Amino acid sequence: MPWFVWRIRQGGVEMTFDLKNRWSLVTGASAGIGRELAGALARAGSNLILVARREPLLSELATELKSAHGIDVDVHALDLSRIEAAQELVEKVVTRPVSVLVNNAGYAVLGSFDGAASEGLVNMIDLNVRFLTEVSRRILPRLLAHPDGGRILNVGSVAGYQGVPNMAAYAASKAYVNAFSEGLGWELRNTSVRVSCLQPGQTQSEFFNYSDKGHVLMARFGLLSATKVAQCGVALIRSGRSARIVGLLNKVNVFMLRLFPRWVVGRAVGLLFKDMA
């Protein structure tokens, strides 16, 4: 159905996307933002497919959400950085009428680029970029065919707006997520599928724990709660808006990027993240 016809049929304004009784697939659901996104979707009445590496944490969350909200929850423990992961996942969920895809899985390799292990960098890019792209491509036909429309929510980052010293590859991977979401959203503008990009900054999660950089200034400054970020994510799914930067400070920072030359911004960002080297 053409996008403008769909809007006319809804009285000229896109109706709020009803999550009740839908099936939402959430990657990276075992902790942090992903866990909170799963909880927020469950409270909205959505059935869930939870995906991450750590099966015990997924099973614990599934039991909790089923008991609290009376929904159905499937659990799939997978290492999503593997080349075969996207195909395996889509095959595992083929019996479920998925209409919401939440691409949250991702992690960062922090520190100097020349000191990073090549395997870690490649695995990060495989997860943050390649898997997100492939699973979106494989799930998209099902979203387009769903009679009530579909949603893709990609978790990007404000780090994707600027090259960041000592997390150069991570920031670049999030720049891809931000741009990919915007471009795909424009491609699908005449369909009933909407693509949104949630863009938080520093969030209370395992992000810095895994990188052993929890002591640095930027790991403690302006932290957002994962619960707030997840609430913003579900609101974004419902509205179908293209993107949302979470947190007033992050919005101000991204706006300020437009006012100064790139070299000035680069120097300032370098000072903030120098302890990660």
Domain positions in the chain are 20-276
Contact (Cβ atoms closer than 8 angstroms) between residue 173 and residue 128: yes
Q: What average pLDDT is seen over the chain?
A: 87
What is the tens place of the pLDDT at every residue in 87-110? 999 999 999 999 999 999 999 998
- Which residue is associated with the tokens 């991977």? 173
Average pLDDT in the 129-139 region? 98
Of 21-35, 154-168, 261-275, least confident by mean pLDDT is 261-275
Confidence at residue 207, expressed as pLDDT on a 0 to 100 scale: 53
Contact (Cβ atoms closer than 8 angstroms) between residue 177 and residue 197: yes
Tell me how far apart the alpha carbons of residues 267 and 166 are, in angstroms, rounded to a whole number.
13
Average pLDDT in the 2-24 region? 63
Average pLDDT in the 129-140 region? 98
> What amino acid occupies position 44?
A
Contact (Cβ atoms closer than 8 angstroms) between residue 51 and residue 76: yes
Catalytic site residue 170? yes
What is the tens place of the pLDDT at every residue in 211-231? 445 445 555 555 788 999 999
Name the CATH superfamily for 20-276.
NAD(P)-binding Rossmann-like Domain (3.40.50.720)
Confidence at residue 57, expressed as pLDDT on a 0 to 100 scale: 97
Alpha helices in the chain (DSSP H): 3-9, 32-43, 55-69, 85-92, 118-125, 132-145, 168-187, 207-211, 226-239, 248-256, 262-272
pLDDT above 90 (res 236):
yes
What is the tens place of the pLDDT at every residue in 60-91? 999 999 999 999 999 999 999 999 999 999 99
Residue 77, helix vs strand vs coil: strand
What is the tens place of the pLDDT at every residue in 188-204? 999 999 999 999 987 77
Residue 11, helix vs strand vs coil: coil
Q: Which of 107, 161, 170, 176 is catalytic?
A: 170
